[in-house]
Structure 1
Amino acid sequence: MGFRKDFLWGGATAANQCEGGYNEGGRGLANVDVVPIGEDRFPVIAGKKKMFDFDDEHFYPAKEAIDMYHHWKEDIKLFAEMGFKTYRLSLGWSRIFPQGDETEPNEEGLKFYEDIFKECKKYGIEPLVTITHFDCPMHLVEKYGAWRSRELVGFYENLCNVIFNRYKGLVKYWLTFNEINMILHAPFMGAGLYFEEGDNVEQVKYQAAHHELVASAIATKIAHEVDPENQVGCMLAAGSYYPYTPKPEDVWAGRQDERENYFFIDVQSRGEYPAYALKEMERKGIEVKMEEGDKELLKAHTVDFISFSYYSSRVATTDPELLEQTAGNIFASVKNPYLEASEWGWQIDPLGLRITMNDLYDRYQKPLFIVENGLGAVDTPDENGYVEDDYRIDYLAKHVEAMRDAVDQDGVDLLGYTTWGCIDLVSAGTGEMKKRYGFIYVDRDNQGNGTLKRSKKKSFDWYKKVIATNGEDLSN
């Protein structure tokens, strides 16, 4: 059987990691613009270190990134040459509403994305659009405290009204928030949250999460009203948890970790707060303030499909301090002794993708869409920019095979697959360029040096063949 005939093969990027042009086209400053590379990056991402503007001591990779703002036609042409059926990208909120709280949008920003969508359509590529991908106008951070404020629900609703109407007929597939569960692990990057001394951090995170969940339901409502053809998905940073031992306490630790991960999708897919989450909040003394009509909104406007990123499985134990941790992840887990790891310490587990797909499909019984998967690696190009990235081909082939097994043997309903960073871009976690995922090499280093020239890697033609055969030919 294999994948469905209309399977959506493609690649994924995010505005803040590839677009650049931070002060062009009327765009306002966004939260990720002011996140530097280096030792201060993680404290800023976590909301522990205040950095609301640029200084002379740091390099800020998102300001220019790979300058897709000026290279998008060239890049989309390369995606089309690979045979992409879909291209996942995100909108820069501050490119459309520079401050975030204006009534009227920035026409130049709207036109920029409209031109991109039309270019995609010209090549038969279906845009898959994330409304916000680690992106919040800095004005909303400074004036309102970002998503800790209920007012952001209204500003997001205004954004949705504008984009769903403007891009009707150009965009069918939408995601409301990228990796919504990352608000717990990277709150400034995920939701613009910065914590002052004395803040109840958990209370702030879950209240902000509630605001995002309500906003997501409103977005789903508007999308379906504007165009019944619209399909709206949630987006989760996924990866099943394995107990480190058969000890019941380790099994229970894994169950609790998975529940924390699935909480957001439980609400977005099932339309209500699960009992376990309410009990957990009660134990922690967290009181989420709900306004009149919130419960009804959540219940009435659930998502059409479940999208997720998958890079690795995780391991749970009651004694994590006794065991080696994985490296390089925004939220690390205990190291699995049976798995190899990437250069950044992300453990490689193709079967874990199949397990995760089964977990999600069994739990929600809604179509799945894998919107991020890939291997971050150091690439060494020749004088022409060509990279022999057999390691990337091997990683992706094994993961495509695993997802094919989930479809063929387990009956999982899978809409499509977009590899992360189909063109080299800035890493969200580390801010590095040397951590490369793409089929297309970009001449750019960690400090912003380079020509920005694009060149095809060996994996470019490999993925082209995979798409052409609908995933049947994975040979290198």
Structure 2
Amino acid sequence: MNKNFRHDFLWGGAISACQAEGAYDADGRTLTFPDIVKRIDPNQRQNFGQAWITDKEIAEGRTGDLLDYPKRWGIDFYHTYAEDIALMAKMGFKVFRFSIAISRVFPHVGDREPNAKALAYYDGVIRECRKWNMEPLVTMSHFDPPIEIWENYGGYTNREIIDYYYRYFKTLIDRYHHDVKYWLPFNEINCGLLAPFKGLGVCNGEGVEFENRRWQAIHNQFVTAAKIVQYAHQHYPDLKMGCMVAYVTSYPYSCDPRDVIANEEFDRITNLLFLDVQAKGEYPYFAKTYFEQNQIHLQIEDGELELLKQGTADWVGYSYYQSIVTAAATDKKERTSGNLTSGLKNPHLKANEWGWQIDPDGLRYLTNKVYDRYGKPIFILENGIGKIETLNAENTVHDDYRIDYLKRHLKALKEAVQDGCDVIGYTWWGPIDLISSGTSEMSKRYGFIYVDQDENGQGSKRRYCKDSYAAYKQIIETNGEEL
């Protein structure tokens, strides 16, 4: 039995363009969905559910106070990427996951040629990764399409958007296939269900009409992903194409069979449906039943179901931060927050300031579940803990809590490897502090590297290593043997 991580295990970290790059109006980039999502009141952290946005809020975002929209300045990775990548390389990273912003490369849906300045920038990012012998893992779409997709096209429900994204994806694959082996079409593709504006450019709503728009947009993303996977397999067979969900790991509230069934139904629609389509190449039986029961009628063009079968992913990835509890009857039960959605509180677990419950054993449970279902290599694409932190007099942060979180989750992941799961890599979310995806806060810090910047974008912007920087470096040096 293999008791260790594989010798070529891909240790690293992950960031996104919309939370790190900043430079929101530089070199032809256009305004994006994240650019118009406000920072929330810190007093509302515990009650925060993932963003459902209204037409009014979108309009306000066009003209609102810049200080209300921190993702527009990020951490200025657009200008500091070389020094930031060097800091991560010196931790020993084998892989660096980052996203390329379509709003830079094809700022407008009607663009037929890519923005040369944007490609020159990403040439530099990839070149720096290669200089430090890090595998670039490119997320091609990470919640940052141009706002005009909503304004002029109604979001991903419009089939013209399939061609727009495919043109963009193909441009990246053709340009970077020599330097980038690992690719991911969509970050957390089930976000289209959990936060439809963020994932699809579909504003919140209710009723049959809204559900049809939402699921049609999800289907269109499935088609887009399958098209680019099929293209890559045909033209560049050495590339490794992945798929990803924000896996909302859940347990039944009790052993009452009704709670167990409710939990299964939640898991199927929230998580497994999305992985089944991308990893197995077809809609599962329960999706068809769900669509019938909810009067959802997808417009599926000729050849699309066959395309889904031909464009299946080579590896399966997911983000894992916490677990929740579900029940058949949720009234009078205490709730807690989580990544993209909330759930019932688990009395056996502790939580961070945002109400995300910490559950290392859940990572082992989930990894076995996913590997058993798909039999494909597993990539942990996001895992981490956000905390409120400030520099001390020594210009560092003594973040023992982050080191504890990291080691406990990696121990659980190693146990999954010992169980027989084929796990190929692990990328910590936010190895350098960046803007929170959900709450748009700077004060929710995930990094091993501290960025001296406050909520209003003020500060020296200098980078400082926390205690966890050295801890992760040692873990990588020993290939996870010293946990």
Is TM-score (shorter-chain normalized) higher than 0.5? yes
1:75 aligns with 2:84: yes
After superposition, where does 1:62-211 map in structure 2 within 5 Å? 62-195=71-204, 200-211=209-220
After superposition, where does 1:367-406 map in structure 2 within 5 Å? 367-406=377-416
Per-residue CA deviations over 1:428-455 (Å, capped at 9, x if unaligned) read 1111111110000001122222221110
SS class of match (1:82): coil
Task: For residue 97 of structure 1, report the CA deviation from its aligned partner.
Answer: 0.4
Distance in 2, matches of 1:456 and 1:11, equals 15
Task: For residue 355 of structure 1, report the CA deviation from its aligned partner.
Answer: 0.2
Q: 1:328 to 1:255 in 2, by over 3 A?
A: closer
Per-residue CA deviations over 1:65-85 (Å, capped at 9, x if unaligned) read 101001000100001100000
Task: For residue 329 of structure 1, report the CA deviation from its aligned partner.
Answer: 4.5
Alignment partner, residue 268 of structure 1? 278
Task: Quote the RMSD (CA, aligned, Å).
Answer: 1.7
Distance in 1, matches of 2:53 and 2:314, equals 32
Aligned 8 A contact 2:95 2:134 in 1: yes
State the AA in 1 paired with 2:341: F
Alignment partner, residue 361 of structure 2? 351
Distance in 1, matches of 2:326 and 2:70, equals 34
State the AA in 1 paired with 2:352: S
SS class of match (1:184): helix
Deviation larger for 181-190 or 65-74: 181-190
State the AA in 2 paired with 1:38: I
Per-residue CA deviations over 1:239-271 (Å, capped at 9, x if unaligned) read 432111100000001100110121011101111
Per-residue CA deviations over 1:72-115 (Å, capped at 9, x if unaligned) read 00100001100000000001101000113311110110111111
Task: For residue 330 of structure 1, report the CA deviation from its aligned partner.
Answer: 3.0
Distance in 2, matches of 1:198 and 1:405, equals 44
Alignment partner, residue 299 of structure 1? 309
- Please point out which of 352, 362, 366 is paired with 2:376: 366
Q: 1:407 to 1:197 in 2, by over 3 A?
A: closer
State the AA in 1 paired with 2:40: G
Distance in 2, matches of 1:423 and 1:392, equals 13
State the AA in 1 paired with 2:4: G
Alignment partner, residue 30 of structure 1? 32
State the AA in 2 paired with 1:306: V
Task: For residue 384 of structure 1, report the CA deviation from its aligned partner.
Answer: 4.6
Deviation larger for 311-320 or 13-22: 311-320
Aligned 8 A contact 2:50 2:341 in 1: no
- Please point out which of 221, 227, 231 is paired with 1:222: 231
1:278 aligns with 2:280: no
Aligned 8 A contact 1:442 1:452 in 2: yes
Distance in 1, matches of 2:18 and 2:208, equals 28
TM-score (norm 2): 0.95
Aligned 8 A contact 1:165 1:226 in 2: no
Alignment partner, residue 463 of structure 1? 472
Distance in 2, matches of 1:390 and 1:44, equals 28
Distance in 1, matches of 2:208 and 2:393, equals 53
SS class of match (1:321): coil
Deviation larger for 51-60 or 9-18: 51-60
SS class of match (1:406): helix
Aligned 8 A contact 1:13 1:420 in 2: yes
Distance in 2, matches of 1:43 and 1:400, equals 28
Aligned 8 A contact 1:422 1:438 in 2: yes
SS class of match (1:9): strand
Distance in 1, matches of 2:455 and 2:208, equals 34
1:19 aligns with 2:25: no
TM-score (norm 1): 0.96
Per-residue CA deviations over 1:175-215 (Å, capped at 9, x if unaligned) read 11111111111111112212579882211111000000000
Aligned 8 A contact 1:240 1:355 in 2: no
- Please point out which of 47, 50, 61 is paired with 2:53: 47
State the AA in 1 paired with 2:19: Q
Distance in 1, matches of 2:284 and 2:144, equals 28
Deviation larger for 38-47 or 359-368: 38-47
Aligned 8 A contact 1:326 1:334 in 2: yes
- Please point out which of 69, 79, 84 is paired with 1:60: 69
After superposition, where does 1:414-453 map in structure 2 within 5 Å? 414-453=423-462
SS class of match (2:331): helix
State the AA in 2 paired with 1:47: I
State the AA in 2 paired with 1:66: I
- Please point out which of 236, 242, 253 is paired with 2:262: 253
Q: Which runs of 5+ in 1 are unaligned?
A: none
SS class of match (1:322): coil
Distance in 2, matches of 1:434 and 1:226, equals 44
Aligned 8 A contact 2:317 2:378 in 1: yes
Per-residue CA deviations over 1:303-341 (Å, capped at 9, x if unaligned) read 000010001122110121221001364310100001111
How many residues in Structure 1 have an aligned counterpart in Structure 2?
473
Task: For residue 225 of structure 1, report the CA deviation from its aligned partner.
Answer: 2.6
Deviation larger for 390-399 or 340-349: 340-349
Distance in 2, matches of 1:198 and 1:82, equals 50
Aligned 8 A contact 1:96 1:109 in 2: yes
